[in-house]
Amino acid sequence: MKKYISGLDSFIKKSFTQEEILFKELINEIIAFKKWMIMVIITVFSLGLLYIFTSSDEYSTTSKLLMEQSNGLNSKALGGLASISGLGNLGIGNQNTEALPPELIPELVLESDFLKRLMYEKVYYEEAGDSITLLQFVNDYEKHNFYYHLLRLPSKVKAIFSADKKEVIEDTIQTKKIEEEAILAFDSRERKTIAQLKKRIEVEKEERLLVIQTKMPEPLASAQFNEVLSRLLKEYLTNIILDKDVQNFEFIKERTHEAKNRVEKTQMKLANFRDSNRGINSQLLKTEEDRLLADFNLEFSLYNSLAQQMEQARIKVQNATPLMTVFQKPQLPTSPSEPKIVLLSIAFLVLGGIIGVLFFFGLLILRMLMIHFTNV
Protein backbone atom coordinates (compact mmCIF):
# COMPACT_ATOMS: atom_id res chain seq x y z
CA MET A 1 0.00 0.00 0.00
CA LYS A 2 2.89 2.38 0.82
CA LYS A 3 4.27 1.87 -2.66
CA TYR A 4 1.01 2.96 -4.26
CA ILE A 5 0.64 5.95 -1.91
CA SER A 6 4.19 7.01 -2.72
CA GLY A 7 3.37 6.92 -6.42
CA LEU A 8 0.17 8.88 -5.77
CA ASP A 9 2.16 11.52 -3.84
CA SER A 10 4.56 11.85 -6.77
CA PHE A 11 1.63 12.38 -9.12
CA ILE A 12 0.17 15.05 -6.81
CA LYS A 13 3.46 16.92 -6.45
CA LYS A 14 3.98 16.85 -10.21
CA SER A 15 0.45 18.20 -10.74
CA PHE A 16 1.11 21.00 -8.21
CA THR A 17 4.35 21.88 -9.99
CA GLN A 18 2.73 22.01 -13.44
CA GLU A 19 -0.48 23.56 -11.95
CA GLU A 20 -2.65 21.15 -13.91
CA ILE A 21 -3.96 17.62 -13.61
CA LEU A 22 -2.44 15.18 -16.06
CA PHE A 23 -5.38 13.00 -17.00
CA LYS A 24 -3.26 10.28 -18.57
CA GLU A 25 -1.23 9.89 -15.40
CA LEU A 26 -4.42 10.11 -13.31
CA ILE A 27 -5.79 7.12 -15.21
CA ASN A 28 -2.51 5.30 -14.61
CA GLU A 29 -2.86 5.97 -10.88
CA ILE A 30 -6.43 4.66 -10.93
CA ILE A 31 -5.19 1.51 -12.67
CA ALA A 32 -2.40 1.21 -10.08
CA PHE A 33 -5.02 1.21 -7.31
CA LYS A 34 -7.29 -1.25 -9.10
CA LYS A 35 -6.34 -4.03 -6.70
CA TRP A 36 -7.58 -2.03 -3.70
CA MET A 37 -10.64 -0.84 -5.56
CA ILE A 38 -11.50 -4.43 -6.47
CA MET A 39 -11.11 -5.39 -2.80
CA VAL A 40 -13.58 -2.65 -1.87
CA ILE A 41 -16.00 -3.87 -4.55
CA ILE A 42 -15.71 -7.47 -3.34
CA THR A 43 -16.23 -6.40 0.29
CA VAL A 44 -19.37 -4.38 -0.52
CA PHE A 45 -20.68 -7.15 -2.78
CA SER A 46 -20.07 -9.76 -0.06
CA LEU A 47 -21.95 -7.63 2.48
CA GLY A 48 -24.75 -7.36 -0.08
CA LEU A 49 -24.86 -11.13 -0.52
CA LEU A 50 -25.04 -11.49 3.27
CA TYR A 51 -28.09 -9.21 3.23
CA ILE A 52 -29.69 -11.13 0.35
CA PHE A 53 -29.21 -14.63 1.74
CA THR A 54 -30.20 -13.78 5.30
CA SER A 55 -33.42 -12.10 4.15
CA SER A 56 -36.54 -14.26 4.17
CA ASP A 57 -38.69 -14.71 1.08
CA GLU A 58 -41.59 -12.30 0.74
CA TYR A 59 -44.73 -12.94 -1.32
CA SER A 60 -46.64 -9.94 -2.65
CA THR A 61 -50.38 -9.86 -3.31
CA THR A 62 -52.23 -7.09 -5.13
CA SER A 63 -55.93 -6.29 -5.19
CA LYS A 64 -57.88 -3.35 -6.59
CA LEU A 65 -60.99 -1.56 -5.34
CA LEU A 66 -63.15 0.53 -7.66
CA MET A 67 -64.39 3.78 -6.13
CA GLU A 68 -67.71 4.54 -7.83
CA GLN A 69 -67.86 8.27 -7.21
CA SER A 70 -70.25 10.77 -8.64
CA ASN A 71 -68.99 13.90 -10.35
CA GLY A 72 -67.44 16.25 -7.89
CA LEU A 73 -66.24 15.53 -4.39
CA ASN A 74 -68.66 17.70 -2.45
CA SER A 75 -71.61 16.15 -0.70
CA LYS A 76 -74.50 17.99 0.94
CA ALA A 77 -74.96 15.14 3.32
CA LEU A 78 -71.70 14.03 4.85
CA GLY A 79 -69.28 16.06 2.77
CA GLY A 80 -65.80 14.73 2.32
CA LEU A 81 -66.17 11.57 4.37
CA ALA A 82 -68.93 10.36 2.07
CA SER A 83 -66.87 11.25 -0.97
CA ILE A 84 -63.86 9.26 0.26
CA SER A 85 -65.49 5.93 -0.45
CA GLY A 86 -68.19 7.08 -2.89
CA LEU A 87 -71.01 6.64 -0.42
CA GLY A 88 -73.37 9.19 -1.93
CA ASN A 89 -75.93 11.11 0.11
CA LEU A 90 -76.48 9.39 3.43
CA GLY A 91 -77.18 12.33 5.69
CA ILE A 92 -80.38 13.66 7.18
CA GLY A 93 -80.76 17.33 6.54
CA ASN A 94 -78.47 19.49 4.51
CA GLN A 95 -74.91 19.99 5.59
CA ASN A 96 -72.28 21.66 3.50
CA THR A 97 -68.81 20.47 4.36
CA GLU A 98 -65.57 20.47 2.47
CA ALA A 99 -64.78 17.22 0.74
CA LEU A 100 -61.65 15.28 1.63
CA PRO A 101 -59.98 13.99 -1.53
CA PRO A 102 -59.73 10.24 -2.10
CA GLU A 103 -55.94 10.72 -2.20
CA LEU A 104 -56.08 10.76 1.60
CA ILE A 105 -57.12 7.10 1.77
CA PRO A 106 -53.51 5.78 1.42
CA GLU A 107 -52.52 7.98 4.37
CA LEU A 108 -55.56 6.83 6.33
CA VAL A 109 -54.49 3.19 5.90
CA LEU A 110 -51.11 3.95 7.50
CA GLU A 111 -52.61 5.82 10.44
CA SER A 112 -52.12 4.23 13.87
CA ASP A 113 -55.86 4.18 14.61
CA PHE A 114 -56.55 2.00 11.57
CA LEU A 115 -53.47 -0.20 12.06
CA LYS A 116 -54.49 -0.77 15.68
CA ARG A 117 -57.64 -2.47 14.40
CA LEU A 118 -55.76 -4.30 11.67
CA MET A 119 -53.10 -5.81 13.95
CA TYR A 120 -55.71 -7.93 15.75
CA GLU A 121 -57.03 -9.48 12.52
CA LYS A 122 -56.01 -13.10 11.90
CA VAL A 123 -54.31 -14.82 8.94
CA TYR A 124 -53.28 -18.43 8.57
CA TYR A 125 -49.54 -18.86 9.03
CA GLU A 126 -48.21 -22.27 8.08
CA GLU A 127 -45.21 -22.11 10.41
CA ALA A 128 -47.55 -21.57 13.37
CA GLY A 129 -49.94 -24.22 12.08
CA ASP A 130 -52.90 -22.02 12.89
CA SER A 131 -54.47 -18.63 12.28
CA ILE A 132 -52.65 -15.96 14.26
CA THR A 133 -53.08 -12.22 14.66
CA LEU A 134 -50.73 -9.89 12.84
CA LEU A 135 -49.56 -8.77 16.27
CA GLN A 136 -48.46 -12.32 17.04
CA PHE A 137 -46.83 -12.70 13.63
CA VAL A 138 -44.70 -9.56 13.97
CA ASN A 139 -43.59 -10.25 17.54
CA ASP A 140 -43.28 -14.05 17.56
CA TYR A 141 -42.76 -15.35 14.01
CA GLU A 142 -41.37 -12.63 11.75
CA LYS A 143 -37.78 -13.26 10.65
CA HIS A 144 -35.26 -10.52 9.87
CA ASN A 145 -31.93 -10.37 8.07
CA PHE A 146 -28.55 -10.08 9.78
CA TYR A 147 -28.34 -6.29 9.51
CA TYR A 148 -31.71 -5.79 11.20
CA HIS A 149 -30.45 -7.50 14.34
CA LEU A 150 -27.08 -5.74 14.09
CA LEU A 151 -28.66 -2.29 13.95
CA ARG A 152 -31.03 -3.09 16.82
CA LEU A 153 -28.25 -4.40 19.07
CA PRO A 154 -27.55 -1.01 20.79
CA SER A 155 -31.25 -0.48 21.53
CA LYS A 156 -31.55 -4.02 22.92
CA VAL A 157 -28.60 -3.43 25.25
CA LYS A 158 -30.14 -0.14 26.34
CA ALA A 159 -33.52 -1.84 26.90
CA ILE A 160 -31.94 -4.32 29.33
CA PHE A 161 -30.85 -1.53 31.66
CA SER A 162 -34.12 0.39 31.38
CA ALA A 163 -36.51 -2.57 31.61
CA ASP A 164 -37.96 -1.65 35.02
CA LYS A 165 -38.60 1.94 34.02
CA LYS A 166 -40.18 0.78 30.78
CA GLU A 167 -42.61 -1.50 32.64
CA VAL A 168 -43.71 1.37 34.88
CA ILE A 169 -44.28 3.61 31.86
CA GLU A 170 -46.28 0.92 30.03
CA ASP A 171 -48.42 0.26 33.12
CA THR A 172 -49.17 3.98 33.26
CA ILE A 173 -50.05 3.95 29.57
CA GLN A 174 -52.44 1.02 30.04
CA THR A 175 -54.16 2.91 32.86
CA LYS A 176 -54.51 5.99 30.69
CA LYS A 177 -55.93 3.86 27.85
CA ILE A 178 -58.76 2.84 30.15
CA GLU A 179 -59.35 6.35 31.47
CA GLU A 180 -59.04 8.21 28.18
CA GLU A 181 -60.17 6.17 25.21
CA ALA A 182 -59.89 9.22 22.95
CA ILE A 183 -56.10 9.12 23.33
CA LEU A 184 -54.12 6.47 21.46
CA ALA A 185 -51.54 4.63 23.55
CA PHE A 186 -49.57 1.52 22.60
CA ASP A 187 -47.35 -0.95 24.38
CA SER A 188 -44.00 -2.05 22.94
CA ARG A 189 -45.45 -5.00 21.02
CA GLU A 190 -48.12 -2.84 19.42
CA ARG A 191 -45.62 -0.12 18.47
CA LYS A 192 -43.38 -2.70 16.85
CA THR A 193 -46.35 -4.19 14.98
CA ILE A 194 -47.46 -0.80 13.64
CA ALA A 195 -43.93 -0.04 12.41
CA GLN A 196 -43.63 -3.39 10.63
CA LEU A 197 -47.13 -3.32 9.14
CA LYS A 198 -46.35 0.03 7.52
CA LYS A 199 -43.50 -1.70 5.68
CA ARG A 200 -45.78 -4.51 4.53
CA ILE A 201 -48.59 -2.36 3.18
CA GLU A 202 -48.61 -0.18 0.09
CA VAL A 203 -51.77 1.62 -1.05
CA GLU A 204 -51.91 3.83 -4.13
CA LYS A 205 -54.72 5.62 -5.92
CA GLU A 206 -54.84 5.29 -9.69
CA GLU A 207 -57.71 7.29 -11.16
CA ARG A 208 -60.81 5.62 -9.64
CA LEU A 209 -58.91 2.51 -8.57
CA LEU A 210 -57.43 1.94 -5.16
CA VAL A 211 -54.48 -0.46 -5.53
CA ILE A 212 -53.69 -2.41 -2.36
CA GLN A 213 -50.45 -4.38 -2.13
CA THR A 214 -49.38 -6.51 0.81
CA LYS A 215 -46.45 -8.83 1.44
CA MET A 216 -45.89 -11.72 3.82
CA PRO A 217 -43.36 -14.58 4.09
CA GLU A 218 -45.99 -17.13 2.99
CA PRO A 219 -48.27 -17.05 -0.11
CA LEU A 220 -51.55 -17.83 1.69
CA ALA A 221 -50.79 -15.41 4.51
CA SER A 222 -50.07 -12.68 1.97
CA ALA A 223 -53.36 -13.24 0.11
CA GLN A 224 -55.37 -13.39 3.35
CA PHE A 225 -53.64 -10.28 4.67
CA ASN A 226 -54.64 -8.43 1.51
CA GLU A 227 -58.25 -9.58 1.75
CA VAL A 228 -58.45 -8.65 5.44
CA LEU A 229 -56.98 -5.23 4.74
CA SER A 230 -59.45 -4.53 1.91
CA ARG A 231 -62.43 -5.68 3.97
CA LEU A 232 -61.40 -3.77 7.07
CA LEU A 233 -60.74 -0.62 5.04
CA LYS A 234 -64.26 -0.72 3.59
CA GLU A 235 -65.75 -1.29 7.06
CA TYR A 236 -63.61 1.45 8.59
CA LEU A 237 -64.63 3.99 5.97
CA THR A 238 -68.25 2.93 6.27
CA ASN A 239 -68.20 3.41 10.04
CA ILE A 240 -66.70 6.88 9.62
CA ILE A 241 -69.26 7.82 7.01
CA LEU A 242 -72.24 6.40 8.89
CA ASP A 243 -71.23 7.92 12.20
CA LYS A 244 -73.36 11.04 11.74
CA ASP A 245 -76.24 9.05 10.28
CA VAL A 246 -76.28 6.69 13.25
CA GLN A 247 -76.10 9.60 15.67
CA ASN A 248 -79.01 11.28 13.88
CA PHE A 249 -80.99 8.04 13.94
CA GLU A 250 -80.38 7.53 17.66
CA PHE A 251 -81.30 11.14 18.38
CA ILE A 252 -84.56 10.89 16.40
CA LYS A 253 -85.29 7.50 17.99
CA GLU A 254 -85.02 9.01 21.49
CA ARG A 255 -87.20 12.00 20.56
CA THR A 256 -89.75 9.63 19.01
CA HIS A 257 -89.87 7.52 22.18
CA GLU A 258 -90.38 10.67 24.27
CA ALA A 259 -93.13 11.90 21.90
CA LYS A 260 -94.86 8.53 22.11
CA ASN A 261 -94.89 8.71 25.91
CA ARG A 262 -96.38 12.21 25.77
CA VAL A 263 -99.07 11.03 23.31
CA GLU A 264 -100.02 8.18 25.64
CA LYS A 265 -100.19 10.52 28.64
CA THR A 266 -102.33 13.14 26.86
CA GLN A 267 -104.53 10.37 25.44
CA MET A 268 -104.97 8.91 28.92
CA LYS A 269 -105.82 12.34 30.36
CA LEU A 270 -108.44 12.89 27.63
CA ALA A 271 -109.95 9.44 28.15
CA ASN A 272 -110.11 9.88 31.96
CA PHE A 273 -111.69 13.31 31.55
CA ARG A 274 -114.40 11.96 29.21
CA ASP A 275 -115.13 9.00 31.49
CA SER A 276 -115.38 11.23 34.55
CA ASN A 277 -117.70 13.75 32.93
CA ARG A 278 -119.90 11.52 30.79
CA GLY A 279 -123.48 12.80 30.48
CA ILE A 280 -122.71 16.21 32.00
CA ASN A 281 -123.65 19.07 29.73
CA SER A 282 -121.41 22.04 30.58
CA GLN A 283 -119.71 24.58 28.37
CA LEU A 284 -116.76 24.77 30.75
CA LEU A 285 -116.25 21.02 30.57
CA LYS A 286 -116.58 21.17 26.77
CA THR A 287 -113.82 23.79 26.64
CA GLU A 288 -111.55 21.67 28.82
CA GLU A 289 -112.22 18.63 26.61
CA ASP A 290 -111.36 20.66 23.49
CA ARG A 291 -108.10 21.76 25.14
CA LEU A 292 -107.13 18.19 26.03
CA LEU A 293 -108.06 17.06 22.53
CA ALA A 294 -105.92 19.83 21.00
CA ASP A 295 -102.99 18.77 23.21
CA PHE A 296 -103.45 15.18 22.11
CA ASN A 297 -103.64 16.13 18.39
CA LEU A 298 -100.49 18.27 18.72
CA GLU A 299 -98.52 15.54 20.47
CA PHE A 300 -99.77 12.91 18.02
CA SER A 301 -98.83 15.10 15.03
CA LEU A 302 -95.32 15.58 16.43
CA TYR A 303 -95.00 11.87 17.16
CA ASN A 304 -96.20 10.96 13.66
CA SER A 305 -93.67 13.33 12.09
CA LEU A 306 -90.80 11.97 14.17
CA ALA A 307 -91.84 8.38 13.44
CA GLN A 308 -91.65 9.10 9.70
CA GLN A 309 -88.21 10.72 10.07
CA MET A 310 -87.02 7.77 12.16
CA GLU A 311 -88.13 5.31 9.49
CA GLN A 312 -86.36 7.32 6.79
CA ALA A 313 -83.20 7.43 8.92
CA ARG A 314 -83.43 3.67 9.55
CA ILE A 315 -83.69 2.95 5.82
CA LYS A 316 -80.71 5.18 5.04
CA VAL A 317 -78.54 3.53 7.67
CA GLN A 318 -79.51 0.01 6.61
CA ASN A 319 -79.10 0.66 2.89
CA ALA A 320 -75.90 2.68 3.16
CA THR A 321 -73.15 0.46 1.75
CA PRO A 322 -69.84 1.76 0.45
CA LEU A 323 -69.65 2.04 -3.31
CA MET A 324 -66.22 0.45 -3.26
CA THR A 325 -66.48 -2.71 -5.29
CA VAL A 326 -63.75 -5.30 -5.70
CA PHE A 327 -62.24 -4.69 -9.14
CA GLN A 328 -59.48 -7.26 -8.74
CA LYS A 329 -59.53 -9.95 -6.07
CA PRO A 330 -56.30 -10.86 -4.24
CA GLN A 331 -54.62 -13.74 -6.03
CA LEU A 332 -52.51 -16.38 -4.31
CA PRO A 333 -48.87 -15.65 -5.29
CA THR A 334 -46.86 -18.54 -6.70
CA SER A 335 -43.33 -17.17 -6.43
CA PRO A 336 -41.57 -14.83 -4.00
CA SER A 337 -41.30 -11.19 -5.01
CA GLU A 338 -38.47 -10.48 -2.58
CA PRO A 339 -35.56 -10.59 -2.28
CA LYS A 340 -34.83 -9.77 -5.94
CA ILE A 341 -31.54 -11.66 -6.03
CA VAL A 342 -30.34 -10.66 -9.52
CA LEU A 343 -31.38 -7.02 -9.22
CA LEU A 344 -29.91 -6.65 -5.73
CA SER A 345 -26.69 -8.39 -6.77
CA ILE A 346 -26.23 -5.95 -9.64
CA ALA A 347 -27.12 -3.04 -7.35
CA PHE A 348 -24.54 -4.05 -4.73
CA LEU A 349 -21.96 -4.64 -7.46
CA VAL A 350 -22.54 -1.14 -8.86
CA LEU A 351 -22.55 0.28 -5.34
CA GLY A 352 -19.23 -1.44 -4.67
CA GLY A 353 -17.80 0.08 -7.85
CA ILE A 354 -18.98 3.55 -6.85
CA ILE A 355 -17.55 3.18 -3.33
CA GLY A 356 -14.30 1.85 -4.83
CA VAL A 357 -13.96 4.92 -7.07
CA LEU A 358 -14.88 7.20 -4.15
CA PHE A 359 -12.24 5.41 -2.08
CA PHE A 360 -9.57 6.32 -4.62
CA PHE A 361 -10.63 9.94 -5.05
CA GLY A 362 -11.11 10.33 -1.31
CA LEU A 363 -7.54 9.14 -0.77
CA LEU A 364 -6.39 11.44 -3.58
CA ILE A 365 -8.01 14.51 -2.02
CA LEU A 366 -6.70 13.59 1.44
CA ARG A 367 -3.11 13.27 0.18
CA MET A 368 -3.45 16.52 -1.80
CA LEU A 369 -4.51 18.37 1.37
CA MET A 370 -1.73 16.81 3.42
CA ILE A 371 0.95 17.71 0.84
CA HIS A 372 -0.48 21.20 0.38
CA PHE A 373 -0.46 22.07 4.11
CA THR A 374 2.95 20.41 4.58
CA ASN A 375 4.51 22.71 1.96
CA VAL A 376 2.80 25.87 3.27
User: Distance between CA atoms of 274 and 272, rounded to whole angstroms?
Assistant: 6
Given a contact cutoff of 8 angstroms between Cβ atoms, the answer to whether 330 and 223 are in contact is yes
Q: Is the pLDDT of residue 134 over 80?
A: yes
Maximal CA-CA distance, the chain: 134
Burial class (CB in 10 A: 0-12, 13-18, 19+), 129: exposed
- Mean of pLDDT values over 328-349: 89
User: Distance between CA atoms of 219 and 61, rounded to whole angstroms?
Assistant: 8
Q: Based on DSSP, count helices (H) and strands (E) in the chain, helices before strands.
A: 13, 6
What pLDDT was estimated at residue 173? 52
- Mean of pLDDT values over 87-116: 62
What pLDDT was estimated at residue 124? 94
What digits encode the pLDDT tens for the residues 146-192? 676 677 667 666 666 665 555 555 555 555 555 455 677 888 899 99
Q: Is the pLDDT of residue 84 over 80?
A: no
What pLDDT was estimated at residue 155? 67
What is the percent of the chain with per-residue pLDDT over 70, rounded to a whole number?
76
- Residue at 156: amino acid letter: K
Given a contact cutoff of 8 angstroms between Cβ atoms, the answer to whether 54 and 146 are in contact is yes
Note if the pTM is more than 0.85: no
pLDDT tier at 1 (50, 70, 90 boundaries)?
low
What digits encode the pLDDT tens for the residues 268-303? 988 888 888 877 777 888 888 888 889 888 988 998
pLDDT tier at 97 (50, 70, 90 boundaries)?
very low
What digits encode the pLDDT tens for the residues 220-234? 999 999 999 998 988
User: Distance between CA atoms of 99 and 80, rounded to whole angstroms?
Assistant: 3
What pLDDT was estimated at residue 209? 87
Least confident of 132-141, 322-331, 340-349: 322-331
What pLDDT was estimated at residue 108? 83
- Mean of pLDDT values over 109-135: 91
Backbone dihedral angles phi then psi of residue 133, each to the nearest 5 degrees: -75, 160
What pLDDT was estimated at residue 78? 38
Is the four-CA dihedral 302, 304, 310, 315 of positive or negative sign?
Answer: negative
What is the percent of the chain with per-residue pLDDT over 90, rounded to a whole number?
20
How much is the CA Rg of the chain, to the nearest whole Å?
36
Mean residue pLDDT across the chain: 78
What pLDDT was estimated at residue 82? 38
pLDDT tier at 201 (50, 70, 90 boundaries)?
very high
pLDDT tier at 70 (50, 70, 90 boundaries)?
very low
Type and span of the H or E element at 122: strand 122-125
